[in-house]
Amino acid sequence: MKFGGSSVGSPERIREVARIIGSRLERKPIVVVSAVGGVTDMLISAAQKAASEGKADTAELRKKHEDIITELGLDRAIISELDSLDELLSGIAQLGELSPRIMDKVQSFGERCSSKILAACLEKQGIGSRAFDAYDAGMITDDNFGNAEPLPEVFEKLGALSESPVVPVVTGFIGKDREGRITTLGRGGSDYTAAIIGAAVDAEEIQIWTDVNGIMTADPKVVPEAKSIPRVTFDEASELAYFGAKVLHPKTIRPAVRKGIPVRVLSTFEPEKKGTVISIESEKDSNPLKAIASKKRITLINVVSTRMLLAHGFLARIFQVFEEHHKPVDMVSTSEVSVSLTVDNDEHVDEIAEKLKHFAKVKVMREKAIICAVGQGLSEAVGLCGRVFTAVGSEGVNVHMISLGASEINLSFIVDDKDADKAVKSLHKELLE
């Protein structure tokens, strides 16, 4: 059971999390917890300020944790580790330097405090519990600070958590390398921790508790009528995450995929709801479409060369330019005389365009958005494409590029950024309501 920052963001939320855990004791829960909501950003800011201004200030951070502890009636000693943070920030302030290794150590204090607070809250409610720093439980990683990868032996080491006589509350997001230096697992690191532990103990289910009731048919901020999807496949969830849906990062559920362990996304604000199950199998449905996602602030690059397109190695030359700038490409579409590609931000685009102009005409179009329709069997759904483009066309939305993904579960197209929400609403109304 993994609980995110919003789920442990206040004394009331922490009490509710403890209640949720207590109601599932017969299933032998292992708990993974993120930092209290907002704390990771505060830690990063404090470290940057210490390095740039020579000031080590943890007053706001300390008050946030002390207020929670006071409200919950817990002993302040459980966050005594913040004294070590003061020393660390003072060192950063004196040196005026902030390496990725030191930043990882600073960020670790969020989870190290929240795990102890939640474990103490469980104990206060009569539920036997013990806080674990993940590295003490066996989370050993490489030394890629800021985006570390767990080493293969973690699965055997972390498996011992299943033998705990009390509820283990484990820090998400952090580990240690072989030299004993603290590392962080990057974006979605706490979800990743939960999936790794779930795989290590052969869990019946991995539960990710957030502030939304599962994966939605669209962003509820754009489409208020959006509904929770009962079940999606790992592939569908990965496509939705990549194209902007607020879903688990694809890498974080990889360990669960390998073991075939279902992942359930639930809401601590609506714990009675069943959320969304992410599994290998998809349930049969008359509508192959599961959800609509969008990704804004996209740049579209058109490369045109009537002379070179069919020449051997032409596409390779184009992709080599992107590779030189470490620039991943989202979508690709080719015709007899042109190649269209999208990238997800503006960085290095002008330099890339200048290099491409050595052998082709180049047109760069900024402020675009990818609209993505996801579902098993989209490629076999007769008439679906017609309905999609009729729906967006009826709203006056112009489509610049179309791609039916090689996975056959993803139909994507490019529109102007200003039209993205309009396109999502029209598709949801036509295909999912």
**CA dist 208 to 8, 120, 149, 386, Å?**
13, 21, 20, 37
Per-residue pLDDT band for 41 (boundaries 50, 70, 90) equals very high
The domain segmentation of the chain, as residue ranges, is 2-211, 291-431
The average pLDDT across 163-184 equals 98
Under a CB-based contact definition with an 8 Å cutoff, are residues 223 and 177 in contact?
no
pLDDT higher than 90, residue 119: yes
Q: 214 in helix, strand or coil?
A: coil
Q: Report which residue type is found at 74.
A: L
CATH classification of 291-431, choosing from 3.30.2130.10, 3.90.25.10, 3.40.50.300, 3.30.460.80?
Answer: 3.30.2130.10
Instruction: Give the span between the Cα atoms of 391 and 385, in whole angstroms.
Output: 10
Q: What is the pLDDT of residues 202-252, one digit of tens each?
A: 999 999 999 889 999 999 999 999 999 999 998 899 888 887 677 788 788
Q: What is the pLDDT of residue 310?
A: 63
Residue 241: phi, psi to the nearest 5?
Answer: -65, -45
Q: What is the pLDDT of residue 312?
A: 75
pLDDT higher than 70, residue 306: yes
Q: Is 230 exposed, middle or buried (0-12, 13-18, 19+ CB in 10 A)?
A: middle
* Among the listed residues 53, 31, 58, the one whose alpha carbon sits nearest the alpha carbon of residue 129: 31
Classify the C-alpha dihedral 280-282-288-294 as positive or negative. negative
Instruction: Give the span between the Cα atoms of 169 and 429, in whole angstroms.
Output: 43
Measured at the alpha carbon of residue 251, what is the angle toward residues 245 and 252, in degrees to the nearest 5? 85
Q: What is the pLDDT of residue 395?
A: 96
The average pLDDT across 93-117 equals 97
Q: What is the pLDDT of residue 287?
A: 80
Per-residue pLDDT band for 285 (boundaries 50, 70, 90) equals confident
Q: What is the pLDDT of residues 43-99, one digit of tens each?
A: 999 999 999 999 989 999 999 999 999 999 999 999 999 999 999 999 999 999 999
Instruction: Give the span between the Cα atoms of 35 and 108, in whole angstroms.
Output: 9
Q: 304 in helix, strand or coil?
A: strand
Mean pLDDT, the chain, whole residue set: 93
Q: What is the pLDDT of residue 245?
A: 72
Q: What is the pLDDT of residues 239-271, one digit of tens each?
A: 888 876 777 887 888 899 899 999 999 999 999
DSSP 216: B
Q: What is the pLDDT of residue 309?
A: 62
Q: What is the pLDDT of residues 319-357, one digit of tens each?
A: 999 999 999 998 998 887 889 999 988 889 999 999 999
User: DSSP 3-state helix, strand, coil percentages of the chain (rounded to 5)?
Assistant: 40, 20, 35
Q: What is the pLDDT of residues 127-160, one digit of tens each?
A: 999 999 999 999 999 999 999 999 999 999 999 9
CATH 2.60.40.10 fits 2-211, yes or no: no
Residue 340: phi, psi to the nearest 5?
Answer: -115, 135
Classify the C-alpha dihedral 231-232-237-239 as positive or negative. negative
Q: Where are the alpha helices (DSSP H) in 173-270?
A: 189-200, 234-242, 254-259
Matching residue, tokens 């207590």? 22
In the sheet with 31-33, reading across from the earlier edge strand, the strands are 129-132, 167-171, 31-33, 2-3, 206-210, 263-267, 276-279, 231-233
